[in-house]
Structure 1
Amino acid sequence: MSKNIYNEFQIKELEKNPNVLSASERSISYSPVFKLKAVVDYKAGKTPSQIFIEQGFDLDMIGKEQPKRCLKRWRESYERFGEEGFLTERRGKGSTGRPSSKGISVEEKLQKAESRIKFLEAENGLPKKAGRARKAGVEEETILTAAEKFSLIEKTIRIHQLNKAVSYLCELAGVSRSGYYDWLKAAPLRAQRDEQDELNIVIIQEIFKSKKEKVGALQVKMIMQNDYSAVMNHKKIRRLMAKYNLVTKVRNANPYRKMAKATQEHRTCPNLLNREFNQEEPGKVLLTDITYLYYGKGRKAYLSCVKDGATREILAYHLATSLEMDIVYETLKKLKAAVGNQFHPEAMLHSDQGMHYTHPLFQSKVKRLGLTQSMSRKGNCWDNAPMESFFGHFKDLAEYKSLENLKEVKQEVNRVIEEYNHYRYQWGLNKMTPVQYRDHLLAA
């Protein structure tokens, strides 16, 4: 019995651990499998505290002395009675601690041993999956859900005809016998759910494949709702994608980019925007930046873009093979043409402190357009986060790495930005595309 007194919240947290059969205000009942593993790990050189931490226990909750007390008792039981001491041990008032063999025949002992072997064989045959978070350097361990344990028990009994071993297998797996029978009764409902899942996954797979496996649950939901007139909860979509192994391709983190140092003539501007990216007025906040695109056999192109902070629409962009100043000058020209030289009266152009944006001539051109210039703080990418986010999505959607020449890359850039502006629904834009949301704001 623990010296601690556990409250209701702590009891619930303890019972979430698969190594705990039950918990009360004054005691914790551990599973026989965990006890046996703890003794084996202790003999292998692990400390009691390390064993408990690796199995997901919070020592501040159960008490720092609890592992040592438990291991002492379990080791004594193991030395006296062996493995059977854990699987059939009796505790409580009047108990000697010796496993009860009364009424247990040799045949029953053999059946228990066979049941345990068959169950562990079935468990080891499961594909490995990530368990709970462990400390750095500690190997993660497979943790089964209650439903998976019930399934293992049913499979073991059915295949090996161990009908009399239900109670023993439930105890071995650390689940209740009543829970197992409830799970069996619910089989028709699970079959009905699986049948419905088979129908629902068809449309999700179609969308997922059409978008080259680069969309997540929220994107699938919006495409389904807008293009297929079908409504499905995004949590259900996420569950089905996990069930049928539809894993979204995730972009790699961008390597750190070193820009050329500015000269003394270059001047930075204050961060006037201060991360107020969306001011619900199209054309008021304009964000700009440059990213690189590797294509062909190690060749590099550069993409300069201007994004509307309110609608997330890409208003202007220019692709070049050089980082010379022309890339930003051409972007400004295209921006002027895109808005018909009718800029918002309080329009602000926000960028990082790159050499292009601190250049005196660039700043002069921005001023002639009637734009106020703002810059992120040095080394702070969050001050221009929406622009960084767009480049990330762009590299997810674009297939440019295998292209051989700049003409093909330009065609792919045009295609992706057209799709992004007109056909990519966004959760933060009331499930509209950037162009739809711009029209919505202007009509409001």
Structure 2
Amino acid sequence: MTRKRRSFSPEFKLEAAQLVVDQGYTIREAAEAMNVSKTTLENWIRQLKSERSGKTPASKALTPEQKRIQELEKQLRKVEQEKEIFKKGYCSLDVRLAQQFQIIKRLEGSFPAKTLCDTFEVHRSSYRYWRNRPGRLSSKELRTRHLIKTAHRLSNGSAGARSIAKIVTTMGEDLSRYRASRRMKLLGLVSSQLPKHHYRKAEQAHIAVPNVLGRCFDVKRPNQVWVGDITYVWAGKRWAYLAVVMDLYARKPVGWSLSLSPDSVLTKSALEMAYESRKQPNELLFHSDQGCQYTSIQFRQVLWRYQIKQSLSRKGNCWDNSPMERFFRSLKTEWIPETGYRSFTEAKEQITNYIVGYYSRYRPHSKNGGLSPNDKEIMYWKAYKTVAKNTCPLHKVS
């Protein structure tokens, strides 16, 4: 019987290498957490360090920067040709310098000013001088901005554009929420309150997938039933979304992914990480709620490719996926600050530390009789090997 060769995605390799390079785990700890050999992990670490030093690998890159470099190398010749065609066509027109500056200003929101100036063959210093020439504000505009700053100060920095528009209007100056929002950006004023989170509702009926799990959360072995769900975390100035896949046997998170978009790419990434880290198990059931991220064609194609059977909770019934709800509650009450994280990078690092460093290795779980998820699985595999050894059939003597 030939041994099946394992394959890993660039995202999985990057996640594993970052545990050692960025988060201080030893190679042995990271290799055990991700279920890969030390030699394989050392190769990924060397590749990550090499890419961060500026070297583009011959194989698929791990870091987004080197991936982008590989893509740009393919597109460079085409871009240079298009640029020359544009220059030759534009130079044949009679356009004055002021008109060129106006075109550059309109395009500056989409392209760097330096690139635009080089394309139009004008001096960047000349464009800066034209753009920064002093403009005079009307007395009405000055009064409006003064009232907006006053309203923001009165609210102790908590008022948003809608509230500020109402306050300024009561002061005798008509102001819409949209005008208030634009002027708040110009003045550098922001609301200190965290915005409420809202998921978009699906506009079409979900696919017909039964609730196969049926709240049978006590399973007999690892890699028998996985559950998944998505939650949201405040990261800097916007919401980030966390997808987690958990093995029900020891309540161990086996795959996770953090993104700024709650889409199928997020849930696919978490499932792919779980499938690769658990050595591609067979006869597996995956259970989740009826979110569009789990009922999409893209996600179901991954389940079909991995030969994983799907199970969905009943509509609007969170108890059908209560282990995942309980995990997210523990994460938010035990680890995540009340005001969220300062950046996406900090959120990703801290959540990974919770899952790998604390929850899986040290946190006692009542379902496991006070053992951590890692210790619970270690006990199972030791017992499994002992039983397998003692029940091995004896060879018949001829």
Question: TM-score normalised to the size of structure 2?
Answer: 0.45
Question: TM-score normalised to the size of structure 1?
Answer: 0.40
- Which of the pair has more CA radius of gyration? 1
